[in-house]
Amino acid sequence: MPSGLIVSSGIDYISATMKHTHTSAVQWYHKCVHYIETIASDGIDIYPGRRLGYEGLVCGGSFIGVRDDGYYCTISGERAQKGFDTVYSRFAHISRIDVQATVKLPIGDANIASNARNAVIASNARLGGARQRNATLIEDLRGGATCYVGSMKGLQYARIYNKETESKEEQYKGCWRYEVVLRNDLAGQTAELCKLSDYTQPVWSAMFVRQWIRKRGISVPFSSAAELHALPSREKSQSDVETRLQWLREQVRPALRRLIKLGLRDSILEALGLDEKEEE
């Protein structure tokens, strides 16, 4: 049973490019510049920089730049949560997006990373040779531990790590971070799902991370009770079979299709009690 408390969730990194030739490129560029300047207004140093051949401004781990063929912007860390709506555009190429859920766990629960690696090993035992997943465990002498699920060179992977040790901040005492990194087409598809979701970004992010991690055979210590709030409800119970079938066709089916389009298929199965034994 989930036993953790989500202390934060949301977009933790986003990067995108847009060609000069697009009619909204200049407007997008100026919006991104304004957001970088907003970061600087918090007292963060802003200075000239260069990334991937783009010349521009660096501020607090974020960047906006320009080169001959277009513009490039990246927002990292907690500022990416608010910066998502600025950087996301259906006309931009989203090159990378990170989605995170940070969970406070009971004191003494220090084996999260190694347990995740072992869960992937157990999951692989049920998969064919061509579908085997990789999981790498890295530990250090300070008590930090990180499990990387998938290839860091691939289009998607996750990292599960001790946020307290990594950040050394009191607010993250006893916390572990579950973070999914997506690139290129998968990044664009994920950003679109987030933008179109009926849920707030923190709620959607927690659901997304939970589903991604569970799909790899790893249990997660937080719930997703909000996932099916959009399902229609009946004011009265109907006894007639045909009436019930009509209700399923006309009301439930459209809602389920929308939830599946938003990437919530696994959560639907779970809510209906149909995932008691997941087949990988």
pLDDT 10s digits, 208-218:
999 899 888 88
Judge contact between 224 and 204, C-beta under 8 A. Answer: no
Question: Which stretches of 103-200 are DSSP H helices?
Answer: 112-124, 163-167, 184-196
Looking at the structure, tell me whether residues 144 and 268 fall in a common domain: no
Beta strands in the chain, from DSSP E residues, in sequence order? 5-19, 46-51, 54-59, 62-67, 70-76, 93-104, 135-139, 145-149, 156-162, 175-183
Looking at the structure, tell me whether residues 115 and 52 fall in a common domain: yes
Looking at the structure, tell me whether residues 46 and 71 fall in a common domain: yes
Looking at the structure, tell me whether residues 110 and 176 fall in a common domain: yes
Report the number of distinct structural domains present in the chain: 2
Could you tell me which residue, 100 or 243, shows the higher pLDDT? 100
Is the sign of the CA dihedral 186, 191, 195, 198 positive or negative?
positive
Structure tokens at 92: 């931009």
Looking at the structure, tell me whether residues 99 and 32 fall in a common domain: yes
Looking at the structure, tell me whether residues 67 and 110 fall in a common domain: yes
Q: Is 55 a residue whose pLDDT tops 90?
A: yes
Domain range enclosing 236: 224-280
Question: Which stretches of 109-252 are DSSP H helices?
Answer: 112-124, 163-167, 184-196, 201-215, 241-247
Lowest-pLDDT range of 32-46, 58-72, 105-119, 224-238: 224-238
CA distance 85 to 106: 34
Final residue of a domain: which of 223, 247, 265? Answer: 223
Looking at the structure, tell me whether residues 112 and 249 fall in a common domain: no
Structure tokens at 143: 């008590």
A 10 A CB-CB count for 174 gives: 18
DSSP 107: T
Looking at the structure, tell me whether residues 232 and 207 fall in a common domain: no
Looking at the structure, tell me whether residues 158 and 270 fall in a common domain: no
Is the sign of the CA dihedral 125, 217, 262, 194 positive or negative?
negative
pLDDT at 121: 83
Judge contact between 98 and 13, C-beta under 8 A. Answer: yes
Final residue of a domain: which of 200, 223, 246? Answer: 223
Could you tell me which residue, 168 or 68, shows the higher pLDDT? 68
CA distance 201 to 11: 8
CA nearest neighbour of 222 among 139, 145, 112, 146: 112
Per-residue pLDDT tens for 176-208? 999 999 999 999 999 999 998 888 899 999 999
Final residue of a domain: which of 202, 223, 244? Answer: 223
pLDDT band, very low/low/confident/very high, at 31 (cuts 50, 70, 90): very high
pLDDT at 143: 65
Looking at the structure, tell me whether residues 133 and 163 fall in a common domain: yes
CA distance 9 to 275: 25
Looking at the structure, tell me whether residues 90 and 154 fall in a common domain: yes
Looking at the structure, tell me whether residues 278 and 232 fall in a common domain: yes
What are 46's strand-pairing partners?
Answer: 59
Q: Is 234 a residue whose pLDDT tops 50?
A: no
CA nearest neighbour of 219 among 117, 139, 151: 117
